[in-house]
Chains A and B, each alone.
Chain A
Amino acid sequence: MAERVIYAMYDDDDVLKDGAKMLVAKGVKISEVFSPFPIHGIDPIIGIKNTRLGIVAFLFGITGLMLATVGMRYFMVTDWPMNIGGKPNFTYLDNLLAFVPITFEFTVLCAAHGMAITYMLRNKTLPGIPAQNPDPRTTDDKFVMEIRLSENTKYNSEELEKLLRETGLIELDQKEIK
């Protein structure tokens, strides 16, 4: 279904942030903000929840820790115990200290890569995916706020434009998107 979208462009992050605050106070729903760098403090204003990727990293890390422990116990204790200078190696605990470095490395490996892959998938940023920013200047020095008419039934497009014009924007654009 085609939908009408208003794009308001700003040339300063603080102006956009103040504008967003004003609009949200009047009950306007801002569906997206495109910016060349993270605007600190914009997320709570437009209602974006903090990401849970930190938990993902922790879970991947725990997985790595367990895999490393289980793997090394199997290799070094169950399957083929090695006699190294006659040191006791009957249980995993006997040799635990020697296993610390690899356990640590493998935990970090799984946590970092697991989180990075999840990040790419959640963002839908992968090689070959086309860019979706409404204007090429939003990766340079412009900041764009996206407002969908379907999400703001309280106002019609003229009223919304009038409100937006009070926020110090530099360009205003209406588009049909799929």
Chain B
Amino acid sequence: MHKEAAIREPLILGHKTYHDVTEDVCRPIEDKAPKMWYILFGIALIIGLYGVGCIFYLLGTGIGVWGLNKTIGWAWDITNFVWWVGIGHAGTLISAVLLLFRQKWRMAINRSAEAMTIFAVFMAGLFPLIHMGRLWVGYWTLPLPNQFGSLWVNFNSPLLWDVFAISTYLSVSLVFWYIGLIPDFATIRDRAKKPVSKKMYSILAFGWSGRAKHWNRFELVSLVLAGLATPLVFSVHSIVSFDFATSIVPGWHTTIFPPYFVAGAVFSGFAMVQTLMLVMRKAMGLEAYIHTKHVEYMNIVIMVTGSIVGTAYITELFISWYSGVEYEAYAFINRATGPYWWAYFAMMTCNVVSPQLMWFRPLRRSLIFTFIISIVVNIGMWFERYVIIVTSLHRDYLPSAWSMHYPSHIDIGVYVGTIGLFFVFFLLFARYFPVLALNEVKTILKSSGESYKNAPDTHSHNEDNHSNH
């Protein structure tokens, strides 16, 4: 067994046994939902349905109902797309990258972070689809044999790379998440009393029995999927950034985009994880598993990625001047001092200044402060995409074509609607799925649980086990 230094803070507080872990995670699923859940679910559902209504109106009428014009052909739709994909990145980072680095604190949060990823990528995928206007021809993005002459999709286009990247990312994340869920569903199945829930969880658990050979395969499959998902998560946002970086629009045509977008994605994703996790741990009584130390670790990630993003902003600004290309320089001067200065200012404050506050230990260990900053960061990251997209487009080479972007109520409705839908999915997940990887948490109970790790060493026989490894 792995031994940990006593000075390291325990990851599981209190005197938990294996059975307590099962109880703590399964009880909220088995008990009746609290009234608050119904209220939140109702609100999210109404907002989500409003968004669906807006989407139907859009599909029936055409994308002219958005506030786009001939100068600004891309605005809120692609902003929201990039924002949601970015949020999605934290889940895979936590479950895959931190698995490869053997970070045990990931186990308390990986399940819900990955659920968040999947729902966020659902929301992201919606935007390119509805931007087609004719949703029903969405399959044209696939390289299918067709009768339009032998016309294929353009494999040299970053927009097509995006189709492949997003769909691979979504489906691989889903599989990774579900393979981890199977043993936990089996736990709920074996505890279920009511026939309907017993039946449902039996189907979801795929007949998992916990045989030694199956666990052996489980561990290898998790490791290999993590190894595959790690480059995948970096490739996805790099490819999203290629949508802009391979164009010749001043302000977009920048080689710094891929690393800068990936850092930004992790930054906003962790902020979203914080927002959700701080509420969830309280509402579901999981304070012993997700506590200040976990929040602190995540805040450190936010601080580091926030600093990378800040450096990228300033580098971009410097290079636009240093390049000597006046169009490039103007794009950036216009961002900071033009009519959209307030968006640029919001982006700079939220993304560059706010994460630096995490250098102070009392602040990064304060739950209320973290909650506020996590929301500020996500507002900032939305503005980042808005600034990149709209301010680069709204003043092009021809001053007579200069324009401003004003979102229509459909723009707003679709965006707010996706937030509603996201919470509908997340609340359903929190109600019916094990929100903590409970069987994985049991594996670290002895090495990182408070009651075990600093207890006098009663398992002296553990020492001989090392020789077997």
Contact = CB atoms under 8 A, between A and B. Distances in A.
Contact of B469 (A41, A75, A130, A132): A41
Interface residues of A, number: 67
B215 A38 contact: yes
Given A34-B209, A122-B217, 6 more contacts: A34-B211, A41-B465, A84-B156, A98-B155, A125-B207, A140-B22
Interface stretch (B58-66, B327-335, B340-348, B438-446): B438-446
Contacts of B239: 101
Most central of A41, A54, A95, A105 by chain B CB within 10 Å: A105
A84 to B, nearest CB: 6
10 closest Cβ pairs, A-B complex:
A129-B207, A141-B18, A136-B190, A38-B215, A125-B206, A133-B209, A141-B19, A75-B152, A101-B161, A132-B209
Interface string B208-238: 1111111111111100110011011001000
Contacts of A140: 18-19, 22, 187, 190-191
Contacts, number: 203
A166 to B, nearest CB: 15
A141 B20 CA distance: 9
B1 interface: yes
A62 interface: no
Interface string A76-107: 10011010100000000001001101101110
Contacts of B172: 108-109, 112-113
B94 interface: no
B468 interface: yes
Contact of A129 (B19, B143, B165, B206): B206
Contact of B156 (A50, A95, A138, A141): A95
Contacts of A50: 216, 220
Nearest to A51: B217
Contacts of B232: 105, 108
16 contacts: A38-B218, A40-B1, A41-B465, A41-B468, A48-B213, A76-B152, A101-B235, A102-B155, A102-B160, A106-B164, A108-B168, A108-B232, A109-B172, A111-B228, A112-B172, A140-B19
Interface string A116-145: 100110111111111111001111110000
A17 interface: yes
Nearest to B164: A105
Contacts of B191: 136, 140
B310 interface: no
Given A35-B215, A41-B468, A75-B155, A54 B164 contact: no
